[in-house]
Chains A and B, each alone.
Chain A
Amino acid sequence: MTRRLPILGVLAAGVVAGLLFSPVFGTSAVLWPMLAVAVVAYLVEEAILRRPQVARWRVPLTLVGGVVALLAVIPGAARRPVSLWEAVTSGWRRTLESTWPATPSPDLVAFVPVLVLLACLVGARVLQRSRLAALLPAVVVAGLSQAYVTVTGLDAVLVGLALAGCFALVLLQWPGERAAWVRLVAALAAMAVGASTLGLALPTSTAVHLEKPIPPDSPTVLSNPLTEIAARLHSPDTVVFTARADGPVDRWPVIALDNFDGVTWTAAPKFQRLGRELPLDSRVTVPVRRQSADVALADWSLPWLPSQTRTLSVVDDQPLLVDPASGALLAEQKQPSQYRVTWAEPAVDSDQLASSGVDSDPGSTADLGEVPVGIDELARGIAGDVRPSFQLALVLENYLRTNYKLATGENLPTGHGYAQLNHFLLRSKRGTSEQFAAAYVVMARLLGLPARLVVGFKQPDTPSPDGTYVIRNRDVLAWPEVAVTGVGWVPLDPTGTATSKAGGGLAGAAEKVRKQLPSKKEIEREHQSEPTLPFPEESQKPHHGPDWFTVVLAVAALLGLGLLWVIGVPLAKAVRRRRRRRHGTLGAWAEARDLLRDHGMRVTPAATARDLARDSDGAVSQAMTLLAGCLDRALWSGQDSDPDREFAWSAVRKAQRGLAEGRLSERIRTTFSVRSLIG
């Protein structure tokens, strides 16, 4: 077993290091393949232990066995063996381009167990030459995993302890002398404590992602869905897609447009490969409920797919890209005909929404270009003394609803640049949702409200008999969204015609707030009476820094450990000394050795009392010589009695006094040293 423990330690260290990829793929996705390759590596090493001539076949046996194990364990790998090669050559990059947890497909996840397999192979191969070097591959794997996502908090503590345990298995029989043992144990403890402290002090997540590069001639770059609104309204009956949801749905966003240069609204989505499930935006702190819908595309010409703002997952045969910030979906290769989308719908009541502030950092830009003076004056006139808040957003919405008219029929106005908006806002006061939404977002941003323009479709009020909603061209809509603290992007309806009668969801809550909205003067009075707008509750603030509670907990634990050390070590030594007194000269000898060891002297198993006397000075040397004489008579003279036991213990006391004559720092170090206790 003694030969197998270091091998097991190396393999376990590789698996533990590989487990650091868990946040990327999920624990079960990486655990079983890694265990499989570790078992293969162990079987090969076991064969080598039994038949040393197998050693020459170690590399091919391990590699072939590992690949076979991966093909058997990773779902879908057996059907497409070449995916393992793709995983090694490009899986690491594709994983970085994906949202996490990534889809555990063979061409992505397999690079982790392959890394672990190589770590096990290299580690086991160099184990006989250097135990320290055998651990390096596992350390490299752990380092690579940290380039993906830094393990922090209690996870880091557990990983640090697990790795320390594995390292201890490997290094257990490494040093032959006690001093080296002390160094080893101290190093392992320092590593565990260091990893724990670092893990607790670091921010909770520092995941690194790569953006999926989009070609410059991609439809996503060239398309502007705003320009299609008027065209779609000219052929209103064309079915674009159908949707069947398990809850009320108000709208189907397609793309959010953040940037406006005065002429064109453009989107800047940062697409990533869609993994298994997207995490909920940390800025959403209100309760949410999961909702799903089956979407079937009909006459669909846009590059993006209908989705929801807080998309969690999409079930589809085709690989999809997603912009986690907006929830925009994009087919990576071929557009799917149907898919199932799941999203998080904030469950917020109207009172909570009415009292909410706006999110000062929603993650969108506030480009406005050169704003015409008339639009600026109009916006400020609408706002009056109302401060930026969700109520202000509704005041602005209400103004547009009341004073402007939605264009229908033929001769629909088009365009969304300042020229068209100026005409719409100050002259014609008639437009489609394109002008309503664009004008709203411009004025909202002028008033300090974080707003963006979204293009998509509203859901019709009535479904077909089977419960499926048929979305046609007439349902195309552009609408503004305002970022509300704790809720995220809330859709508004400046045209007054878009909100579904079914209510429910954010749109329904916004509609209720809209109906209960006080008059502008009352809002102004209310805002003037309040020194500041209500702050979000502390628990609702997004948390980006260290988890201070955990840090305090760790510091308290460390202090407790220190206290235990200060009290426990001298106590343990006193108990040990008391017990040794019963063993006469031999006990005195053991006590003297531990005294010197605690004092920092090198006390090897080969050293006799006279050796230690030679290595000491002054009173300590004399005491050790005296003890050596007692020990010789007790152990080697053939006498059964122990006549010198009192002399021996007096020699120990003399040595102790001699050692206590040193500097105070040395005495403290000696008192609290655990070398003799753990060695």
Chain B
Amino acid sequence: MREAGHGMEPQQAYELISANVQRVIRGKPQVVRLAIATLFAGGHLLIEDLPGLGKTSLARSLARSIGGRWSRIQFTPDLLPGDITGVVVYDQGQGKFVFHPGGVFANVVLADEVNRGTPKTQSALLEVMAERQVTVDADTRRVPDPFMVLATQNPIEMEGTYQLPEAQLDRFLLRIEIGYPDLDAEVEVVALDGAGPTPDDLEPVIDPDTLRGVIAAVRSVYVDEAVMAYAVRLAAATRLHSAVRYGASPRGSIALIRAARAIAATDGRSFVTPDDVKSIAHPVLAHRLVLTADAALARRTAESVVDDVLEDTPAPGNPVRRDLKRALGVVS
């Protein structure tokens, strides 16, 4: 195991994990970067795309790259909440009730095909994703730290699936799509079929303690007030867009800054720029928007709404001439 030590710089940790994951996921460095940024930001990741594009492989590769405990929960219609959170059963041998922890008691939880679980089961993830704790029979138990849920879902097969509720979606820091690989990468994937490494072949490259340090370092990345205000303006603009019924919540604004910090850290910077915010606006905001019926009928997408918002919201430092003159001291 090429495990990194304590006090590792976020950029160095990113490069280690990224190289490890890209042994399996080829031709998608930006997707891998976003996934690792989610990890560094202490958030949860929803990977949504068509079958066969490597959703599960990405999640498994990322989970395998981190030392500590990881678990996989295959969501099916008959999965019960207790299977996720754990159950309390009577142990005749000990003569008392004993808690059997569920799948969420791990550093990295891979929730595969999360939309195949029933809403009741899906909602079992709500508490643990937001508060990193599980309450069973009035007893609250914390999950390991660091903790990350990596969920995958297939957007086209609707039969036998249950769309994730908005409250659940809001808890994912990022929703990413993998997309088809380019020609060269796909040729390489085909050539390595059966010969290349699988997620199970990957060794952890970072231990939980180091990861906690990296996460703490990411949280200390400097964000200028103007950049924070920019992120808030972006989130607020989604609420005013004519095609949007419900826009991004303040949690969306927070998520923008957290993800931007992680992006800046992976880039080796100790401060966030407006470009960082712009670069993660789509994966952070799009899944938090509920479009109006008219917009949906007109085949508007949440991504296009985010495009509009980015286009219409002045970036800090250069928005309008008067502001610029004020910044230059030409006008008061």
> A residues bordering B, Cβ < 8 Å?
176, 178, 579-580, 583, 586-587, 589-590, 593, 604-608, 610-611, 628, 631-632, 635-638, 679
Contact = CB atoms under 8 A, between A and B. Distances in A.
Given A583-B328, A605-B318, A608-B315, A635 B224 contact: yes
Given A590-B324, A636-B272, 7 more contacts: A178-B321, A586-B328, A605-B318, A606-B314, A610-B275, A611-B275, A636-B227
Interface centre among B274, B314, B316, B319 (most CB of A within 10 A): B274
A590 B324 CA distance: 8
A608 B275 contact: yes
Contact of A636 (B273, B312, B321): B273
Nearest to B223: A636
A604 B315 CA distance: 9
Contacts of A586: 317, 324, 327-328
Q: List the 8 closest A-B pairs by CB distance, nearest first.
A: A605-B314, A605-B319, A637-B271, A632-B273, A610-B275, A636-B224, A638-B222, A583-B328
Given A583-B328, A607-B315, A628-B275, A637 B222 contact: yes
B137 interface: no
A589 B318 contact: yes
B278 interface: yes
A55 to B, nearest CB: 22
A74 B321 CA distance: 49
Interface string B224-247: 101100000000000000000000
A608 B316 CA distance: 9
Interface string B298-332: 00000000000011111111111100100111100
A637 B268 CA distance: 13
A611 B227 CA distance: 16
A608 B278 contact: yes
A583 B330 CA distance: 10
12 contacts: A606-B312, A606-B313, A606-B314, A607-B318, A608-B275, A628-B275, A635-B317, A636-B222, A636-B226, A636-B227, A637-B270, A638-B224
Contacts of A631: 317
A589 B317 contact: yes
A637 B267 CA distance: 14
Contacts of A605: 314-315, 318-320
Given A604-B311, A605-B319, A606-B313, A580 B274 contact: no
B180 to A, nearest CB: 22
Contacts of A637: 222, 270-271
Contacts of A178: 321
Of A178, A580, A632, which is in contact with the most chain B CB atoms at under 10 Å from its CB? A632
A590 B328 contact: yes
B274 A636 contact: yes
A583 B273 CA distance: 20
Nearest to B275: A610
A607 B274 CA distance: 10
A636 B315 CA distance: 12
Nearest to B314: A605
Nearest to B320: A605
Contacts of B330: 579
A587 B320 CA distance: 14
A604 B320 CA distance: 9
Nearest to A580: B328
Contacts of B329: 583
A75 to B, nearest CB: 50
A116 to B, nearest CB: 36
Contacts of A590: 318, 324, 328
Q: Interface on chain A toward B: helix, strand, loop, or mixed SS?
A: helix
Contacts of A587: 328
Interface residues of B, number: 29
Contacts of B270: 637
Contacts of A635: 224, 226, 316-317
Nearest to B309: A606
A419 B271 CA distance: 115
Contact of A638 (B271, B275, B278): B271
A608 B271 contact: no
Interface in B206-234: 222, 224, 226-227
A679 B222 contact: no
A564 B317 CA distance: 33
A152 to B, nearest CB: 39
B317 A606 contact: no
A635 B317 CA distance: 8
Contacts of B324: 586, 590
A612 to B, nearest CB: 10
Interface in B152-198: none
A596 to B, nearest CB: 12
A556 B274 CA distance: 50
Interface string B275-311: 1001000000000000000000000000000000011
B4 to A, nearest CB: 26
Nearest to A679: B321
B133 to A, nearest CB: 35
Contacts of A583: 328-329
Nearest to A587: B328
Contacts of A593: 318
B271 to A, nearest CB: 4
Contacts of A579: 330
Contacts of B328: 580, 583, 586-587, 590
Contacts of A628: 275
A590 B317 CA distance: 10
A466 to B, nearest CB: 79
A589 B313 CA distance: 19
B315 A606 contact: yes
Contact of A632 (B271, B310, B312): B271
A154 to B, nearest CB: 35
A583 B328 CA distance: 6
Nearest to B321: A679
Contacts of B311: 604, 606
Nearest to B328: A583
Nearest to A178: B321
B196 to A, nearest CB: 33
Nearest to B319: A605
Contacts of B278: 608, 611
A590 to B, nearest CB: 6
A637 B318 CA distance: 16
Contacts of A607: 315, 318
Identify which of A593, A605, A610 gathers the most chain B CB atoms within 10 Å of its CB. Answer: A605
A604 B318 CA distance: 9
A176 B312 CA distance: 9
Contacts of B320: 605
A635 B271 CA distance: 10
A632 B263 CA distance: 14
Contacts of B310: 606
A49 B119 CA distance: 49
A604 B227 CA distance: 18
Contacts of B314: 605-606
A632 B274 CA distance: 9
Nearest to B271: A637
Contacts of A636: 222, 224, 226-227, 271-274
Contacts of B313: 606
A608 B224 contact: no
A424 to B, nearest CB: 90
Contacts of A606: 310-315, 319
A679 B314 CA distance: 16
Contacts of B269: 632
B327 A608 contact: no
B284 to A, nearest CB: 17
B274 A608 contact: yes
A607 B313 CA distance: 9
Nearest to B323: A605
Nearest to B324: A590
Contact of A608 (B222, B312, B318, B321): B318
B262 to A, nearest CB: 16
Contacts of B318: 589-590, 593, 605, 607-608
